[in-house]
Structure 1
Amino acid sequence: MSTRAIQKDAARLLDVVEGGGIAIVGLDVGYAIMGHTEAAIRRIFEAKQRSYSKPCGFFSSWELVEEIYLIGERERRMVSTVIHDYNLPLSVVAPFQRDHPIYRRLSPFVLENASRAGTQDMLLNAGEFHNELARQSRARMVAVLGSSANLSLAGSKFRLEEVEPEVRAAADLLLDYGLCKYHNPRGMGSTIVDLTNFDTIRAGICYERICEIFLDHFNVDLKAIAAHRRGGSKATSAVRL
């Protein structure tokens, strides 16, 4: 698909979610369901049968990491190395600035359910469409929030037709981007790393390579940290969201 077509699709999606609607689109890491308003986020949780104990994520960018996250220079270099030097997708969790302009139009309910204990999960570098959407989101100051487009605990979906009918029915806009780049038989989504303690929240797509990068460049052993925090259990199984 051409860059211009992707730009137009991203703008159309932003128009829908800014207007209170829900969109489903294919990213490199799986099909995602997205919204912006309180009504949309409530519908997403309902359609997915998702517990409110699991906050939704923020479809974000490197620029927003720099502006929003309250992290040190080392943590910034870790993220940059993975997404820029190795061009891999990554979700990260860290403390954030709640007063950033991109959050100003979010209702308290939405911000509460897009964060936990003062931290927020950002998905980064999940393909050309994701990056263009995040760029336009920042330019328009419209936060795009959501989750994987599937029933909770059913695993990520990598073709639009695989998304459960009740989840698809919740969407006002469906964008079919074909088979996702990182499709896998286990339904794994993006790898999620907590930057406050380097715990692996989810061992997902490209986890082995991301572990190598953290160890080789920063002497941080994600697997050892995860095993220690789980009393010796391995962190290589996917957590299905």
Structure 2
Amino acid sequence: MGRRDIKGDAKRIFDTISAGGAVIMPGDIGYAAGANSGARLQQLFDAKQRAPHKRNAMAGNYELHREVHEIGTREQEIIDAIALDAGLPICVVAPFRADHPVIAAAAADTLTASTVGGTLAMLLNNGRLPEEVVRLTHAAGLPLFGSSANLTGTGTRFRVEDIQQPIIDAVDLVVDYGLSKYHHYRRSSTVIDFTTMEVIRIGSCYDLISDILDRQFGIAVPADPGRDVLPSGHLREQAAAAN
């Protein structure tokens, strides 16, 4: 009992991933299952009963995003307003540098399963533990890919006890931090394609993100019709880190 050992837990996750294992770890937007190995990512795909066209997202932080993504000045200002000024979680879809050491370290089949049309999705601001894990993987030149820890189509899980057993059985380590910070949104991350400024998925903090886009940049995005109408939040079928 007591405070969480974020650095110690991040090291356990890093050690598992770097040894070719798979993990379930908590984030502010929900629990995710991830790995570095293409074979383990495929096992997670199979456990999730995930369609082949679905894509993984890369776990990231702001520093890795700036190094990997190739993005215009205005688009970067928008990301900075969301991720830095407001401190909100956002999954950025944008062209990427294939020669970056972290990307180059990924196997070809892993990249195929994690990119679409020359773009890569990277999740930013998902909480202190994921940020610490990414700091370690970044320093080691290792990519970390994953998706939400749930059977496809059943929605993001915000507690470990709600994760279905096939997903638990597919990993080597489960880190339980209790209820996720943004559980009340009942969706995963908000995903935006910054090549087109198209919303791929309405997710956590979409109300705040859409307000920033409108007020600060004059960009109108679709209204959220609500979970009863659009439970997954998907506006375009392709979203990386999809349920």
TM-score by length of 2: 0.90
Deviations 1:197-231 (A, max 9, x none): 1111000111111000011111111228x99xxxx
Counterpart in the other structure of 1:73: 73
Q: Is contact 2:20–2:37 with CA below 8 Å preserved after alignment?
A: yes
Q: Does 1:84 align with 2:84?
A: yes
Q: Which residue of 1 aligns with 2:239?
A: none
Partners of 2:58 and 2:123 within 8 A in 1: yes
In structure 2, the CA distance between the partners of 1:49 and 1:236, relative to structure 1 (3 Å rule), is closer
Q: Return the alpha-carbon distance in structure 2 between the equivalents of residues 38 and 209 of structure 1.
A: 35
> Hey, what does 1:217 align to over in structure 2?
216
Q: Which moved more, 1:98-107 or 1:205-214?
A: 98-107
**8 Å Cα contact 2:155-2:232 kept in structure 1:** no
The letter for the 1-side match of 2:146 is G
Query: 1:56 corresponds to which residue?
Result: 56
1:238 aligns with 2:233: yes
User: Which residue of 1 is the match for residue 191 of structure 2?
Assistant: 192
**Given that residues 149 and 157 in structure 1 are in contact (C-alpha distance below 8 angstroms), is that contact kept between their aligned partners in structure 2?**
yes
Q: In the alignment, residue 40 of structure 1 is paired with which amino acid? A: R
Unaligned 5+ segments in structure 2 are 235-241
Structure 1 residues 171-221: Cα deviation after superposition (integer angstroms, max 9, x where no partner): 10000011000113x741010011011111000111111000011111111
Identity of aligned residues (%): 35
Work out the CA distance in 2 between the residues paired with 1:29 and 1:198: 22
* Residue in 2 that maps onto 1:156: 156
**Is contact 2:186–2:204 with CA below 8 Å preserved after alignment?**
no
Shift of 1:142: 1.0
SS in 2 for 1:223: coil
Shift of 1:104: 2.6
Matching of residues 1-241 of structure 1 within 5 Å: 2=3, 5-184=5-184, 187-223=186-222, 238-239=233-234, 241=243
Partner of 1:230: none
Q: Where does the alignment leave 5 or more consecutive residues of structure 1 unmatched?
A: 228-233
Q: Deviations over 1:12-63 (max 9, x none)?
A: 1111111111000111000000100111111110111111201100000111
**Paired residue secondary structure (2:116):** coil
Residues in 2 aligned to 1:43 and 1:104: alpha-carbon distance in whole angstroms:
22
CA distance in 1, matches of 2:14, 2:32: 14
Q: Contact 1:59/1:124 (CA < 8 Å) preserved in 2?
A: yes
Question: What do the CA deviations read for 1:107-163 (whole angstroms, capped 9, x no partner)?
Answer: 110011111110011100011112111222211111110000000111000000100
1:82 and 1:235, CA in 2 relative to 1: closer, same or farther beyond 3 A?
Answer: farther
Superposition TM-score, scaled by structure 1 size: 0.91
Deviation (angstroms), 1:11: 1.6
Letter in 1 for 2:43: R
